Amino acid sequence: MSKHTESGAVPGNIFLIGLMGAGKTSVGRFIAKRLNKAFYDCDQEIERRTGVKIPVIFEIEGEPGFRAREMAILRELVELHDIVLATGGGAVLTENSRRLLKQNGTVVYLHATIDELWRRTRHDRNRPLLQTTDSRTTLRQLLEQRDPLYRETAHIIIETGDQNLAALGRALEQRLQNHFHNIPPAAHGKNAAGQR
């Protein structure tokens, strides 16, 4: 296999899901470069369009207001072609958003342990849901709630472990290639989304 994947070797859109701190943005940027795809981050798109940070949106509009904005952005982004999208941690909370992701691309769940998630997010003040007295417990509760939804939505599940970014990105690239080489082209769907 060549050092870099040929453009088109992994067709269609790739959507990364998982809890905050799972590495969706970092891995997304890495894999987009490897696969010659455009990269988008749902949270960053919301901030760019509103002109304010996500904690401000939470403060003014609450979580329901933020989720409405997130859904509107998600609906636009999944219609693009040949992109890698890092979704927000709560992007799988509605049946409609899960269906949008599954129907418009290949969904990858980046699964990390509570310890890993806490280590990566404990000093981050830009995550409103973690501004609690016990962020580790909050993360555990969020993962218990969302893990089944992530697994229901994903075509591919990657255990992040303690791999560095390059190793994790290459592992994902290999899984994506295997995924598309092991399913018939007719099953790729609208944007080449295969089933597990």
Q: Distance between CA atoms of 35 and 23, rounded to whole angstroms?
A: 18
Flag whether pLDDT at 194 surpasses 50: no
Check residue 150 and give its pLDDT: 97
Q: What is the mean pLDDT of residues 15-27?
A: 92
Q: Which residue has the tokens 């290459």?
A: 170
Check residue 179 and give its pLDDT: 85
Q: Distance between CA atoms of 29 and 49, rounded to whole angstroms?
A: 20
Rounded alpha-carbon distances, angstroms, from residue 173 to 34, 35, 68:
8, 8, 32
Per-residue pLDDT band for 92 (boundaries 50, 70, 90) equals: very high
| pTM, 2 dp | 0.84
User: CA-based angle 109:110:112, to the nearest 5?
Assistant: 130
Check residue 37 and give its pLDDT: 96
Flag whether pLDDT at 24 surpasses 60: yes
Check residue 105 and give its pLDDT: 95
Residue 111 near residue 158, CB atoms below 8 Å: yes
Q: Which domains does the chain have, with CATH numbers?
A: 14-181 (3.40.50.300)
What's the chain's average pLDDT? 84
User: CA-based angle 38:81:15, to the nearest 5?
Assistant: 70
Q: Distance between CA atoms of 178 and 170, rounded to whole angstroms?
A: 12
Flag whether pLDDT at 5 surpasses 70: no
Rounded alpha-carbon distances, angstroms, from residue 118 to 73, 124, 137:
27, 10, 9
Per-residue pLDDT band for 6 (boundaries 50, 70, 90) equals: very low
